Each structure stands twice: as C-alpha cells, then as structure tokens.
Amino acid sequence: MSFYYKKQLISGVNVPSEYTLAEYNNLTVKPQEWIRTDSPTENASKLLRLNDVNINNPTDNEVLAYDNILHKWTNQKASGGLVARIKVLSETGSTVTATKDATTITLVEVTSGVFQCDIEEYGTWVVSSTYDDFAIQESVVVDTAKVYTVTTNHFRASITVTYPSGATVSCSKIGQETQYADSNPYTFEVEESGIWTITTTKDGKSWTQDVVISTSGEEDDIESVPDGNTVTANDITYLLYCSEVFDKSYTTLSQILNDSDTLFAVINSENGIDYLVRSTSYASDIASNQTAMSVIGASDYASNTLLEDTTWRTALLTSSYASSIINTENPVMYGNTVPTGECSASSTNGSNSPYKAFNGSTSNYWEATSTTNSWVQYAFANAVKIQKCVITPNYVSSNLCAKNYKVQASNDNSTWVDLYTGIFNNANDETATIVFRNVNAYKYYRINTTDAYGSNRIGYKSIKFFGRQNGGIQTWLRAGGITNKQYTTLSAVLADTSTVATLMANNDAVDYLVTVHSWSSDICYNENAMQCIGANNYCANTLLADPSWLTDIYISENYYAYVLNVQTPMMTSNTTPSGEVFASSVASGQAYLAFDGYYETCVSIPNAVGNYIGYDFGSAKHMYLAVFQVENTSGTTYKLQGSSDGTTWTDIESFSSDSFIPNSLPINDTYRMYRFYQNSKTTNNANIDYYDITLYGRQDV
C-alpha cells in the first residue's frame, strides 16, 4: 500500500494527520507537494495524509482535488489546464444547464436532486435550472479546480390582497425580506412555504392576517379586514372596519344607529357581529333602538350569536323591542290541549287545571296538591329553543307560595336539564322575568318547585315561555344573493314580487326556506309566491317533500294547483275522462264514485281483508298527497300502496280512519297505480263506504 502526504502543514491550520483535505474547502494539491511512502511515516504529525488517492506516477501537469460527490481525492486533469466541477441542488427532475459563450453543458442528475458537470474553462458560467416550466438562472465564476455548488429554489406562490383605500399593507415572514404593496389589489410573490403575515394599517388602526402557504404554485386571494374575534373591542372604527365599512369616519355608536345603510351593513356582517358580541358596552343602546332590534331579528347569525352572550342576551330579551328577536312562544291555552301542544302537571288541586297557568290570565291559576317537586309544564308540538320565561306564582299568603324553583327542559319527558334556578320573594303579585342560556331545542319545558314558603301547596297564575327559532328575513335574502334590500318582515318581502321570484328560483334560498315552517302559511296564501314556487321545480319539489309545507300548500285554497299540478280527475265513469278506477269488488254503486269529486256520492266495498280500490294513471306519476273520506271504518286499518305494473305492490303508508272527516297522507313516490288496501278488519259493518279519494302530485315544468 502506498501513502501520500502533503509536505507541509497548511499554514495556520492544525489538521490531524488522519483527516483528509476535504475538511478544508476543497483544496487542491499538485504532485510536487506530495511525499509517497510504502509505510506510514513516523513524522506523520507534520504531514497531511491524502486518503484514497487513485494516482500512479503523477506528473507536474496533474492536479488533485477532493470530489464531494464521490467523497475521494481524484486526478482532475491528465494533460495540463484546470478542471473544476459545478454541482447544482434543485428539484428532482429539473433540467439543468451551464452556459459560457457558445458552449452549453447539460448537467447530469447523479443522485436525487443533485446535478453536476465538469468545467474545463475559466470564466463566468450561467447555470439555468428549469422545473415545472419555471426557470432560474445563477452566474458562477470559475477560477480554480474545485466544486462550485449552486442551490436553486423553484418554489413560487402568490398572495393577492385587496385592501381599504388609503391603507398600507405589507407581507412578511421570519427570515424573509418584508414586501410592501404599491397598488390595490396587490400580489405578493413568496418563495417558500409557511405562514406569511399580512399587516394592514389604516387611520392608526392595524390588524394582521396569517396566510398559510403549503405548495409551490399556490395562489391565495384575501380581503384585508380585521378579525372581529381578535382586535380590540368597544372601538367604533374597528366595528366599522370589521363590517367592511371603510367609507365612514364615525366615532360614536349613535352615528351608526342613525344611518340605516351602515346599521344594516354592520348587523349583516358575520365578522361585524363577531366583533359586536365582544363589545358589550354597546348592548344597552342597541337593544333600546327599534330599528337595530328589527335588523338583528332579521338575521339568524346576529340573533343567535348575540344571544349566546350573557350581557347581550339580557339586553335583547328584556328590551321593549324584544318581540323583534323572539319568534317562538307557547300559545294562550283554553284547555290542556287546546289550541296546540299539551299542558300537564305533577298534580292538580280541584279544578285548577294545568292549562290555567298558560291561559294568559292572572285571575285564575294552576295549583298542586303539594309543595316540593311540584311541577307544571307545556309540551310544544316540535322542539324549540326557549331562552326567556315570565312567571307569576300564585301568592295566597306568606306561608302558601312557591320559593325555590327550576326551569327545566326535556325531549323525552323523562330526562330533564336544568336551564335556570331561581327563588321567589314571597310577595303578592310578584312576576319574575328571567333569561338564560339554552343552546338546544327541547319539546318539553316546565317550572319545577323544589321548595316552598309553607308546607301546604303551591301554584302559578301565569307562565310564558319565549325563544327564537331560525327565521331571519335578511338571512333568507342573503342566501338568495340579495344584499340590497333592507326588509325585516315577511310581508315586506311578499309585497316585492321580483324579490319573491328571485328567492324561489335560488336553490340556497329554497334550502333555507324549507326549514322555516312559521312562514309557510303566509307564503302559501300569497298567489304570486305560489306561482313562483310552481314555476321552479327545485323549489316546488323541496317544499312538497316537507310534510308541514305540503299541508299548507294543499290547504291554500285555489293556489295549490300552481304547485300540485297533477291530480286524479273528476271521474264520470271508471275510464272517463282519463285513467281507470279499479276495485277488488263492489257491494253497491260504481267504483268511480269514490273519484267523482263529490262528497255526497260513494261506492261500497265489501268489508274484508285484502279488498281494495285504486286509480291507474296509465303512466308513472310522482304523487305527494292522498286525501280521502270514508265511513264505517272503525277499527279498520289500511295501506296506501303503489305499483308500476299492477302485480307488484309497494307499501307507502299504513293508517286507520275512525271518523267521517277528510284524511290526508303524504306519499312522495312515483308509480303508475295507487290503491287503498284493507289490511285488517275489526268491525261488524258489512261494507266500507268510500266517499272521496283524490291524489295530488307534480309534473316538473
């Protein structure tokens, strides 16, 4: 084995003998500087060993240089001149060239992302790296035999910022030079991934927005608006800016309240509401302003967000204009189940029935037979969100009155959730108005007395539950893309025929509308609205698929036909004017009499399991509703069935009819034939009398 050493230590550098010169900036070594020996020298501490030199009998024209790619010393040039190497670190798959004058060399990718070539000529070389159609150029001055390393960065992304007039905007990231916008909108070009911060300053107010850049080529667009959840609260300027109102220089809340356009902009901005809910110092003044309360009530987001905060909830629900926010309450009851819902109690003393706590009068009352854990409740027809309660206990004497109580809620009338705990003051004519947080909808609400003044009995003169369900006019309008109408009531919208037409033709607006059952009656009794519903298939079919909307569409007198545009005709025989009436058998009359449109005529079908009567449209029809009137059916159950071929029948609904009144069944299915099939018999009547059957459906327009 031969060993090579440099004759002298590198000036000023103490290099251990077993280290290679690779540790010291790719130095080159000429042959006259070497010592060759077949055994390690004893004087190695004064010499530098050249490891892995693959050269035999070098000449004066040869130069050694350390190759950082191969990790060894190599003979760079066998015949005079100088050899260097350019190494480029770039994305795998890049195209990399080095050019000097008319000479262009294509670099070879020796390992993933590492490109190199040998350079045999001094001078300035232009290195070009192209990746994903994006080229980068760097100049390299080659003046000695060593490896010249070039690192390229093809990462490019952009952040386009639209910002308020008169503001200054910058884009920054730790370790990167800050850029400043000089036009509006302005596109910042960024050269690495990570979090870039956009800082905006206007009229002395500053805010930041972070933009996360993940991939090269990413293009982000943002609008510079302060975050309502983070900037300093209770500042009018920030309130305006959060609401994207940049053209007003208001400094007081009263200025906003007196400007309806600005007020609408603030309350209908979700970011503005996020800021407002944190600015509790404004709650009292806004709750005292009728216009502001109307606008809040017209926005689901504004109402629901503000009602989540204790200060805002108290201000809004105890305001003189609270009715703008509240759209749900228990009705005035005239009996335990009249007109809707149901009143009940833990016990009842004499004629002091539960409904008397909900009849709107303080001249009578519900009274229990005991005190502790005595409760009275109201069950809504559907689950609602109650957040306010007004209670007047029945004060008989100082030792005959409710004391401690809870407002409780349940969805199964078994498991109860405490919403509020309070105490009465043992005073005559005391009325407690309480508000509480409730994020869930419940069907059952009750007042549960947990302790009393005295040990005899307690009662309540009046209880009223109040709450809010979704039903914001502005929410509906904005779902339909309408932002320039300041309506806050349904009647105002219905009076604007073009707006109604726009809403009924917009799928997002329809998706919102179908959830607001409290509007269905007023809309279905408006002819223009019904025409617009009928003219838009998505709207019509969406509303018809909802049982509540289906019912109101059907009972809308002469307007239902705009939407339910298919129905069984008034038959004058089993086959005229169209389709065919069929029955299993007939005891008296003719089958078509059940479909002739007259309640005075009927067909009698023998009372037996398996008998039926129906109608064949001749082709498939999508039906939504069956309305029928039968007699002598006590205890009999039926199935409404559909078929496409008269052989295979599918059950649509099962039902019973025990009285001679019109009944209705939702269908929402497509068949050619529909029939009423007798499923059971528990009556002694010989026949079932069918007075009227009408099927209603829709064919898309």
- Distance, in Å, from the CA atom of 236 to the CA atom of 256, rounded to the nearest integer, reads 9
Cis amide leading into 606 (omega within 30): no
Is the pLDDT at 61 greater than 60, yes or no?
A: no
Range with lowest mean pLDDT among 27-36, 178-187, 622-631, 654-663 = 27-36
Distance CA 91, CA 111 (A): 11
CA distance 102 to 98: 11
Element (H or E) spanning 406, and its range?
A: strand 404-410
Coil vs helix vs strand at 460: strand
CB count in 10 Å sphere of residue 356: 25
Residue 619: its pLDDT value, please? 96
Let me know: does 545 contact 515? Beta carbons within 8 Å.
Answer: no
Strand partners for 343: 378
* Local structure of residue 506 (DSSP, 8 states): -
Is 229 a residue whose pLDDT tops 70? yes
Instruction: Provide the H-helix boundaries in 214-282.
Output: 236-242, 253-257, 260-267, 270-278
Query: Could you tell me what percent of the chain has a pLDDT over 90?
Result: 72
The model's confidence at residue 635, banded by pLDDT at 50, 70 and 90, is low
The answer, yes or no, to whether residue 558 has pLDDT greater than 90, is: no
Average pLDDT, the chain: 87
For tokens 């069935």, what's the residue? 641
Token readout for 285 is 């003044």
pLDDT of residue 275: 98
Max distance between CA atoms of the chain, in angstroms, equals: 131
- Give the residue with greater pLDDT, 22 vs 344: 344
Q: What's the whole-number mean pLDDT along residues 653-672?
A: 77
In this prediction the pTM is: 0.76
Confidence grade of residue 661 (pLDDT, cut at 50, 70, 90): low
What pLDDT band is residue 60 in, cutting at 50, 70 and 90?
very low
Spell out the alpha helix ranges (H) of 439-581: 473-479, 490-494, 497-504, 507-513, 520-524, 527-534, 537-544, 547-554
Mean pLDDT of all residues in 388-406: 90
CB atoms within 10 A of CB 592: 22
Question: Three-class SS of residue 451?
Answer: coil
Q: Per residue in 613-634, pLDDT tens?
A: 999 999 999 999 998 888 866 6
305, 307, 308, 253: which is closest to 281 by C-alpha?
Answer: 253
Q: Which of 60-69, 137-146, 505-514, 633-642 has the lowest mean pLDDT?
A: 60-69
Token output for 80: 């005079």
Q: Report the pLDDT value the prediction gives residue 658, as an integer from 0 to 100.
A: 53
Tokens of 652: 């649509």
- Record the tokens describing residue 41, joined without a space: 């020298």
In the structure, what pLDDT confidence band is assigned to residue 665 with cuts at 50, 70 and 90? confident
What does the block give as tokens for 352? 């002091």
Q: What is the pLDDT of residue 636?
A: 77
Cα(653)–Cα(81) distance, integer angstroms? 98
Burial pattern 77-97, b for ≥16 Cβ within 10 A else e, equals beeeebbbbbbbebbeebebb
pLDDT band at 3 (very low <50, low <70, confident <90, very high): very low
- Give tens-digit pLDDT for 382-393: 899 999 999 999
- pLDDT confidence tier of residue 662, bands split at 50, 70 and 90: low
Tokens of 249: 């220089």
What's residue 39's pLDDT?
A: 47
Higher pLDDT, 375 or 666: 375
pLDDT at residue 633, as a whole number: 64
With beta carbons less than 8 A apart as the criterion, state whether 173 and 211 touch: no
Residues 529 and 576: their CA atoms lie apart, in Å, by 34
Of 48-62, 422-436, 546-560, 657-671, the one with minimum mean pLDDT is 48-62
Cis amide bond preceding 339, omega within 30: yes
For the segment 233-238, the average pLDDT, to the nearest whole number, is 97
The answer on pLDDT for 46 being more than 90 is no
Query: Using 50, 70 and 90 to split pLDDT, how confident is the model at 5?
Result: very low
- Convert the pLDDT of each residue in 424-437 to its tens digit: 998 888 999 999 99
pLDDT tens per residue, range 271-304: 999 999 999 999 999 999 999 999 999 999 999 9
